[in-house]
Amino acid sequence: MHDIEPYYHWRDYYVASEDKQSPLYGKQYSEFHFQDRIYNHYIHPQWDNFGSSTLYCKILYVNYEQPIAIIELMGEWNDALHNDIMELKRSIIDPMITQGISRFVLIGENVLNFHASDDLYYEEWYEDIRENEGWILAVNFRAHVISEMQQGGVHHYVNMGQHYSDILWRKLKPQNVVEFAESLLLKSIK
């Protein structure tokens, strides 16, 4: 797991630690000092710890005018034991909503499992952004993770499914991912 890096080719477009409005502003990173772990496996030091012991993130892109954020996730999403959604919502999402972000693309190809609890924080997140035409889109999550999330009722608040999988987002610029995400959501509404 230590060699799975968050995507870094968009650093010319956005760096969360350099964005004064970001919840990660001012964070210092190391290329060599491995300290965070998922269970007994060290993870790459570029992942951001937001209070969960099993789920980490990287804010890859934010555009305050659109207003959208693209966040890559890695690990085990465990609401049952660690209340990961509460940690993510309070530490990362709430500060972004305060800055006007209402559209979220969550990239989950490195999320290995999901363990549900209740859906209250997902509902709260949805309610927080709904008035501003906001949405949450889960992209490239594994089929069994989507199934586990749907069983937990998360799909009532997060757009997800196999039709949002296998998206070659790394071949695109962030603005193209935003446009592609919006077009996918428009197609699903029609």
pTM of the model: 0.95
Tokens of 66: 């659109």
pLDDT tens-digit map of 144-172: 999 999 999 999 999 999 889 889 999 99
pLDDT at 190 over 60: no
1 pLDDT band (50/70/90 cuts)? low
CA dist 43 and 34 (Å) reads: 7
What CATH code would you report for 16-189?
A: 3.30.750.24
CA dist 4 and 95 (Å) reads: 27
pLDDT tens-digit map of 47-105: 999 999 999 999 999 999 999 999 999 999 999 998 999 999 999 999 999 999 999 99
Kindly write down the DSSP assignment for every residue of the chain, as one continuous string: -TT-PPP-TTTTT--GGG-TTSTTTT----SS----EETTEE--TTSBP-S-SSEEEEEEEEETTTTEEEEEEEEEEEHHHH-HHHHHIIIIIHHHHHTT--EEEEEEEEEEEEE---SHHHHHHHHHHHTTT-EEEEES--HHHHHHHHHTTGGGTSB-SGGGSS--GGGS-HHHHHHHHHHHHHHHH-
Q: Evaluate whether 116 touches 80 at the Cβ level (below 8 Å).
A: yes
CA dist 28 and 115 (Å) reads: 31
- Domain residue spans in the chain? 16-189
Q: Evaluate whether 170 touches 110 at the Cβ level (below 8 Å).
A: no
pLDDT tens-digit map of 8-47: 999 999 999 999 999 999 998 877 788 888 888 889 889 9
